Chain A
Amino acid sequence: MSTPFLAGQLRPALVGVLALAALTGIAYPLSVTGLARAFFPRQAEGSLIRQNGEVVGSALIGQECTDPALFWPRPSATLDTDGKPRPYNAMASGGSNLGPSNPALGNAARTRMEALASLDSETQGSFPVDLVTASGSGLDPHLTPAAALFQVRRVARARGLPEDRVQSLVLRHTEPPQLGFLGAARVNVLKLNLALAELR
């Protein structure tokens, strides 16, 4: 039996915390950083998309967009440092945290629907849910295919393109569920908009 006294346990406790901290807090993350850079350099730095040597964004992080001639991402509830709304603030991720019974949830959806309808007078009723609700991260890079197709008419008209060409672009950018059963079909909005700019 060891003594239950403090003195005998103090050394293993102090040395244990320090040594294990060095192992799990320094050696481990630095090894992961090194190995990640060696094997998956693109993912490790943030799956960045570059055009003409400039970083235009990350394939994983959505960007705010209110241009009628581009596809809009989902609403985002992220805030600025002063607490004012600033959608797609990738320095402060977060959701709206509105409860399901909170009237603000219905009001936010209605405001968003009015904004969408004001740019496309033929739109009526039946708005896709992800286009009027905020994501959990506030940085969701995706839309459901329904929400992307919903915007085809507006985008096509604003760009003076035939609707079927824009629609087929959306379909080409629709990713199926991963491995066939994980997640749902989805469209990456940033990649779609970059491809749209190439479309003549």
Chain B
Amino acid sequence: MSPAWLQFVLYLLFLLLLSVPMGGFMGRVLEGERTFLHPVLGPLEGGLLRLMGVHDENMGWRSYALAILLFNLIGGLALYTLLKAQALLPLNPDHMGPVATDLAINTAVSFTTNTNWQAYSGETTLSYLAQMAGLAVQNFLSAATGLAVLAALIRGFARRESESLGNAWVDLVRSTVYILLPLSLVFALVMVSQGVVQTLSGAIRTASGQLIAVGPVASQVAIKMLGTNGGGFFNANAAHPFENPTPLSNFLQTLAILLIPAGLCHTFGRLVKDRRQGWALLAAMTLLFLGALAMVSTLEARPNPQLTRVGVLQPAGNMEGKEVRFGVAGTSLFATATTAASCGAVNGMHDSLSPLGGLLPLWLMQLGEVVFGGVGSGLYGMLLFAMVGVFISGLMVGRTPEYLGKKLEAFEMKMVSIAILLPPAIVLVGTAAGVLLPSALSSISNPGPHGFTQVLYAFSSAANNNGSAFAGLNANTPFYNFTLALAMLIGRYGTILPVLALAGSLGRKKITPKGPGTLPTHTPLFVATLVGVVLLVGALTFLPALALGPLAEQLSLR
């Protein structure tokens, strides 16, 4: 086996093995059971909830949704204020000025919605305080938001004839205190051991006069990967040697992206009391992931014909925008994982991927980031597709579709359709605006079909809350700062609200006992159906646009 494939196989092995205990642990936390961390962190949870005046009251879906929206609104406003005021506040050793208004709005929305689209470059724009107490805080809180929304949806399936979806405040606090915080602390220190910097002193000046930006990087890198946020401390994100210094740090960071999303499949199985259901979803995700990874790594290993023609030897593959320490294998694995999830960190420049090697990350985002996906958001997205799969299967045999004993009726399918179709609509409308408005066109940096792909990638990334970019596109303009902020908001809350309404409606239903006509949803047949539905919806929606961008570029490349 080549080292590349050994790396991929070990990656999936570790991921699937670790997902089991991780999923069980998260299940216990969300159900309020005691874990091994309770002796240490229990008082912290209790103290926070008392301070907030919360007594674990039951919430219907409307209260739950209001709590989530309010929590994100206040969090976003706090971040905006901090970005505008950073020049007046401490921990600003490199003297950064206030962030421009359109950029501050874009950035606040971006981090609150778990997107981490970055129209700025960290080392030249933000103070340490803004990174630590602004961006990193939303890295935690937006991931906790995803976990809470998913917990509510799972309870909608698990509970019978119940108005209650749990308590949003309790879910948010527990997710942060027991899951995200301890994992990040350990992971940050492992990252420092590999060479990720963690210091509050300002830039370093060498004897030869080279100035080197540093900062509290490890603490932010840990949560940006584990929370599938993806916002880099530095402009080059995880390609920067201080954010991702070794092949091992790269392997572990890639593992951290998918750890919680994969684990949540088991959490789901545990909470609906049928572990096979979780395994089926995990199997569908793994199949899609493997297919994408195999294609990206094969395509990136191929030489660029343009360079071959001028006499460049390319046994290392397409190295423009890649780092030597990761090579094609480490970059392909990272690029696939970061876009399968809603992470969006990059360890190489996606703009310089080969045309088809770049198509796959783009398409993974467009599928709705349901292949593992973001923390919480990936699984609730995949559950929407599972419901579509059940619905189509039900239509074929003429029975009312049921998933986990819950009848799916007109209201449920409406909510599912809204949540699945809204992000693609924004992507296509946004891209059209980006290539039609003369003022937007000047942001494009590459000629030909690739320029179109840059715009398509930006809106796909924003509307699906990914945050990675074809970064040659100059996105720090009023047009992109405002339209992409809007795309991120609609993409995030236009999915969360229908999902919570769906959870409320499912929770009120009774659980129909299994009968001979019930479609089993844990079998290989259903896994295949689910993979088919995801691919079909993604292909039908985006093939024309992909033909104009990466496919046309591939055909023109010689």
Contact surface of A with B, Cβ cutoff 8 Å: 1-4, 6, 9-21, 23-26, 28-29, 31-33, 35-37, 39-40, 43-48, 51, 54-61, 63, 74, 81, 88, 90-103, 105-106, 109-110, 113, 125-130, 132-144, 146, 177-184, 186
Contact = CB atoms under 8 A, between A and B. Distances in A.
B316 interface: yes
25 contacts: A17-B75, A21-B137, A23-B181, A24-B141, A28-B219, A32-B189, A32-B216, A39-B189, A43-B196, A60-B241, A61-B212, A61-B241, A61-B242, A93-B239, A94-B236, A96-B352, A99-B453, A100-B557, A127-B312, A136-B239, A144-B316, A181-B7, A182-B3, A183-B325, A184-B316
A41 B59 CA distance: 48
B124 A92 contact: yes
B169 A16 contact: yes
Contacts of A63: 208, 210
B324 A143 contact: yes
| Interface hub of A29, A45, A74, A140 (most chain B Cβ within 10 A) | A29
B210 A90 contact: yes
B553 A100 contact: yes
B53 to A, nearest CB: 5
Nearest to A125: B311
Contact of A144 (B53, B324, B556): B324
A68 B354 CA distance: 33
Interface string B59-74: 1101100110011011
A140 B311 CA distance: 23
A175 B322 CA distance: 18
Given A4-B66, A28-B184, A33-B219, A56 B208 contact: yes
Interface residues of B, number: 136
A180 B2 CA distance: 11
B240 A130 contact: no
Contacts of A20: 48, 137, 140-141, 172-173, 176
A47 B52 contact: no
B6 A9 contact: no
Contacts of B199: 33, 36-37, 44-46
Contacts of A186: 324-325
Interface in B165-216: 169, 172-173, 176-177, 180-181, 184-185, 188-189, 192-201, 203-208, 210-214, 216
Given A46-B212, A97-B446, 5 more contacts: A23-B176, A25-B136, A46-B204, A60-B242, A105-B320
A13 B556 contact: no
A45 B197 contact: yes
B429 interface: no
A187 to B, nearest CB: 9
A103 B454 CA distance: 17
Interface in B220-263: 220, 222-223, 234-236, 239-242, 245-248, 250-251
B137 to A, nearest CB: 4
B349 interface: yes
Most chain A CB atoms below 10 A, which of B62, B78, B193, B235: B235
Given A47-B195, A177-B3, A184-B327, A2 B311 contact: no
Interface stretch (B284-292, B301-309, B400-408, B417-425): B301-309
A37 to B, nearest CB: 8
A93 B553 contact: no
B439 interface: no
Contacts of A95: 236, 239, 320-321, 348-349, 351-352, 471
